[in-house]
Chains A and B, each alone.
Chain A
Amino acid sequence: MIRVMLPQHLRTLARVGSEVTVDVAGPVTQRSVVDALVAVYPMLGGTIRDYATGERRPFLRFFACSEDLSHEPPDAPLPDAVVSGTEPFIILGAIAGG
């Protein structure tokens, strides 16, 4: 069970609290976690990754275990603490807009 923390607007959109859990079959990576999240909450499709490019939206960041993983390859394994559910995978809205 992977814990995922969502930014405010995505919580509202999915009608959930700040943290949800998803099951991931196979390697636990940025891609597989977001895939699993969107499978459970289809209204989040396209809000985290761009449909056309498949890439993380530029004003979102991925964090876990106090590390910014945003520029790690999407198929790189996430930290063991995320895999075990000890730490959440955090999707964070960048502070932007002036």
Chain B
Amino acid sequence: MSKVRVLVGTRKGAFVLTSDGKREQWDISGPHFPGWEIYHLKGSPADPDRIYLSQSSGWHGQLVQRSNDGGQTWETVGNKFVYDGVPGTHQWYDGKPHPWEFKRVWHMEPSLKDPDTVYAGVEDAALFRSTDGGKEWQELPGLREHGTGPQWQPGAGGMCLHTIVQDPSDANRMYIAISAAGAFRTDDGGVTWRPINKGLYSQYIPEPTAEVGHCVHRIAMHPSRPGTLFMQKHWDVMRTDNAGDSWQEVSGNLPTDFGFVIDVHANEPETIYVVPITSDSYHYPPEGKLRVYRSRTGGNEWEPLTKGLPQSDCYVNVLRDAMAVDSLDKCGVYFGTTGGQVYASADAGDSWNPIVRDLPGVLSVEVQTLA
């Protein structure tokens, strides 16, 4: 029978939650690296027991851990993230030039094919790659240096590269997203990049349709349709069907189109999930009701999913990397909250149960479906 392993990064350590395919009884392992912020951990699609983990603290900076046994034991690997050449400047909050400074790794994205190759999205925004299992890291400088970098500006959470999406049909194509610069695509394995923000409208920036400057929160793709992407932007839920060449809004009847997470059903490429959040000023759900919204039409028409979720006095947030799906039938959907709950649905969102209720604030959730 299949198994599911849920990898949870929190403000105070990592947790590994495992269950069989029924997804009713869960074993909890952790905290791993107690006291450290674990922004993200993710398993290799090519070797599920290989997991990469981003560990950081204000005292000791950034570390990277690697597991070769599914998160039971860990090995400290390389943490030297040095920008290529003289990194120059981006814009600071006041619009003045500010030097690029490495702060932390927000997102680890293992290669689809090679367990020893892994990408790291960092703050200040840049993309790094390791091809030796995380021992050594090299920047892919073509992103930061493609031309618009000096115009990038941090969002409220910092100028982070938080999303890395690989095209399973084309090893040379990859998408990334930066707050608050926007989305970018490479078609040559990361050597050259271009902004793909046409169709995004951000009314709070001086030029609402600018080439860069959009606060993209998260991008999701179904592997069977790599040219279709879904985006949760600071405001607006968007989709593209031409690999980011143009986007259109699909917020439809959502109660608010602000939010962080977005994900796609593993077996239905037009079924997508978001968690609406009241606004950028109120980082909690509208009316104190925690609702996942599902669209079975690729956007525009949305239904609230509430069964098993708190429908009063709930004021948690769901951060950008804190939703994931398994690939079982029925598809499992998982998300974690800043209140420390990890909710799971074993029926594609129709009903929910908490796997755990009292973890530290959840920063990320990833899921592995194991044979």
Contacts and interface: CB of A to CB of B under 8 A. Distances in A.
B126 interface: no
Given A9-B36, A45-B79, A52 B102 contact: yes
B63 A47 contact: yes
Interface stretch (A23-31, A65-73, A90-98): A90-98
A60 B60 CA distance: 8
Contact of A43 (B36, B59, B76): B76
A50 interface: yes
A75 B82 CA distance: 24
Interface of A: 7-10, 13, 42-43, 45-48, 50-52, 57, 59-60, 93-94, 96-97
B58 A97 contact: yes
Given A45-B80, A51-B82, A96 B58 contact: yes
Closest 10 CB pairs of A and B: A43-B76, A47-B60, A59-B59, A93-B59, A46-B79, A51-B80, A46-B61, A59-B58, A47-B61, A9-B60
Nearest to A10: B60
Interface in B74-95: 76, 79-82
A13 to B, nearest CB: 7
Nearest to A48: B60
A14 to B, nearest CB: 9
A10 B58 CA distance: 13
A95 to B, nearest CB: 10
Nearest to A46: B79
Given A13-B60, A50-B61, 19 more contacts: A7-B59, A8-B35, A9-B35, A9-B59, A9-B60, A43-B76, A46-B63, A46-B79, A46-B80, A47-B60, A47-B63, A48-B60, A51-B102, A57-B59, A57-B60, A59-B58, A59-B59, A93-B59, A96-B58
Nearest to A43: B76
A7 B58 CA distance: 14
B251 interface: no
A51 B59 contact: no
A60 B62 contact: no
A13 B36 CA distance: 11
Contacts of A10: 60
Contacts of B81: 51
A97 B36 CA distance: 13
Nearest to B81: A51
Which of B36, B59, B61, B101 has the largest count of A CB atoms less than 10 A from its CB?
A: B59
Interface residues of B, number: 16
11 contacts: A8-B35, A9-B59, A42-B76, A43-B63, A47-B61, A47-B63, A51-B79, A51-B81, A57-B60, A60-B60, A93-B59
A21 B318 CA distance: 45
B130 to A, nearest CB: 15
Nearest to A41: B76
Given A9-B36, A45-B79, A94 B59 contact: yes
Interface in B36-73: 36, 57-63
B82 A52 contact: yes
Contacts of A60: 59-60
B82 A13 contact: no
Contacts of B80: 45-46, 51
Which of B63, B80, B82, B101 has the largest count of A CB atoms less than 10 A from its CB?
A: B63
A57 B36 contact: no
A41 to B, nearest CB: 10
A51 B80 CA distance: 7
Contacts of A8: 35
Given A51-B81, A51-B82, A52-B82, A57 B102 contact: no
Nearest to A15: B76
A75 to B, nearest CB: 22
Contacts of A13: 60, 63, 76
Nearest to A97: B58
Nearest to A60: B59
A42 B138 CA distance: 19
A11 to B, nearest CB: 12
A23 B211 CA distance: 56
Interface string B312-345: 0000000000000000000000000000000000
Interface in B100-116: 101-102
